Amino acid sequence: MINVGIIGATGYAGSELVRIISAHPDAQIKTLTSQSYAGKKYSEVYESYRHKDYICDEEDIEKMADECDVIFLALPHGVASKKVNENILSKTKIIDLGADFRLQNIETYENWYTTHYAKDILPEAIYGLCEINREKIKGKRIVANPGCYTSCSILSLYPLVKEKMIDLKTIIIDAKSGATGAGRGLSLANHYCELNESVKAYKVASHRHTPEIEEQLSYAAGEDVVLNFTPHLIPMDRGILATCYANLNKDYTYDDIRSAYEKYYKDEYFIRLTKEGTFPETKWVKGSNFVDIGFTIDKRTNRVIVIGALDNLFKGAAGQAVQNMNILFGLDEKTGIDFVPVFPA
């Protein structure tokens, strides 16, 4: 059994991790911590756990590193980079669900986020987008689990970028997310009556997932990619839909594009291509680790429109984190996360 520690277990991503690990056949929760609820029963924070006796501990990462085979960090940005160091990594593996180890370009990180406190560690971290970086993840000590928007956006566009089928200067990603993406913290924006029955864009041209998408797509392209990314808040709990636009470099047919997607994804269990004329909907991936991807070509504008969908708390956070754990520990990648989507949910 893999002994698991979870730091930040009472946020939404953390609680989804607890839910997955608690039923994982090859892993068990050793310690879960919470800054806000330390000392309380986990079932007081999430009453769904009435039948479990989990306790929220004070965080002591040194002790956890001794006792746990892997520690998941579900923390605000800027905190993880203060906690992770060589000593910790010499004793346990780290899977960080936050942003601190996602951007290899430190200048970009510090521009968009804050000071980075583990610059020595950063080069060792691997961007844990499993379907793209699987081989590089194996054997690593620290994995930067991708953001929810970024997982969806990158996987939706990767084959087109890699195969140079689209004009990299024309990429526009218009994304829609449910409210769990904003976390459990209180704010007027998340008040039920303020969010319900309305839709809005936010952080227009300034969302921090932009450089993360760009860095990864630049690796794929072999050149710098700069793009537009616009997130929207949707009155629902879970799910991300990314509608991606780009000009085609040639008069590609549907089958040309399809071949590119199949080249990279045909053996990927968690990526499901929709049939021609059918497009992803977030409800069909909810509660699962699947990413559904569909596309069409608009001949009138010679643009491809690619639509990707995933569950932001699952494949966009906790599910992919466990997928990374499975890779790190040599398990079947699907272990403990092979759920049929829950519908209606």
What residues between 9 and 48 interact with its own copies by CB under 8 A?
Answer: 12, 15, 19, 22-23, 46-48
> Taken in order 325, 320, 90, 10, is the CA torsion positive or negative?
negative
**Contacts to its own copies from residues 295-314, by CB under 8 A:** 296-298, 300-301, 303, 305, 307, 313
With respect to its own copies, which residue has the nearer C-beta, 49 or 117? 49
Judged by CB, which is closer to its own copies: 93, or 176? 176
Tokens, residue 186: 């209180």
Chosen residue from 245, 252, 264, 265 binding its own copies by CB under 8 A: 245
Buried b (16+ CB within 10 A) or exposed e, 72-84: bbbbebbbbbebb
Minimal CA–CA distance to 239: which of 269, 282, 204? Answer: 282
Binding mask 211-240 for its own copies (x = CB under 8 A): ---------------xxx-x-x-xxxxxx-
Q: Judged by CB under 8 A, which of 60, 78, 272, 335 binds its own copies?
A: 272
Binding mask 120-159 for its own copies (x = CB under 8 A): ----------------------------------------
CB-nearer residue toward its own copies: 102 or 286:
286
Min dist. Cβ of residue 276 to its own copies (A): 11
Q: Taking the complex as a whole, how short is the minimal distance between the CB of residue 67 and its own copies, in angstroms?
A: 23
96 φ, ψ to 5°?
A: -100, 120
CB atoms near residue 300 (< 10 Å): 6
User: Where in 52-91 is the site for its own copies (CB under 8 A)?
Assistant: 52
- Nearer of residues 81 and 177 to its own copies, judged by Cβ: 177
In the complex with its own copies, the residue whose CB is nearer, 282 or 323, is 282
Q: What is the total count of residues that contact its own copies (CB under 8 A)?
A: 86
283 binds its own copies (CB under 8 A): yes
Rounded distance between C-alpha atoms, residue 67 and residue 161, angstroms = 42
- Rule CB under 8 A: choose which of 90, 107, 186, 251 binds its own copies: 186
Catalytic residue list contains 193: no
Residue 72's nearest CA partner among 333, 317, 314, 245 is 317
Taking CA atoms, 213 is separated from 13, 30, 131, 220, 242, in Å, by 20, 34, 15, 11, 12
109 binds its own copies, rule: CB under 8 A:
no
Task: State in angstroms the smallest separation of the CB of 104 from its own copies.
Answer: 19
Q: Which of residues 187-216 bind its own copies (CB under 8 A)?
A: 187-188, 190-202, 204-205
Residue 93 and residue 322 in contact, taking contact as beta carbons nearer than 8 Å? no
Rank residues 123 and 300 by Cβ distance to its own copies and give the closer one.
300
Cβ burial, residue 200 (10 Å; 0-12/13-18/19+): exposed
Active-site annotation holder among 148, 152, 193, 244:
148
Enter the DSSP assignment of 27: E
Look up residue 102 and give its amino acid.
R
* Chosen residue from 60, 67, 174, 256 binding its own copies by CB under 8 A: 174
Per DSSP, what are the bridge partners of residue 73?
7, 96
For 113, the token pair is 């986020």
**Shortest distance, position 264 Cβ to its own copies, whole Å:** 17
Q: Do 151 and 165 meet the contact criterion of CB atoms below 8 Å apart? A: no
What are the residue numbers of the active site? 148
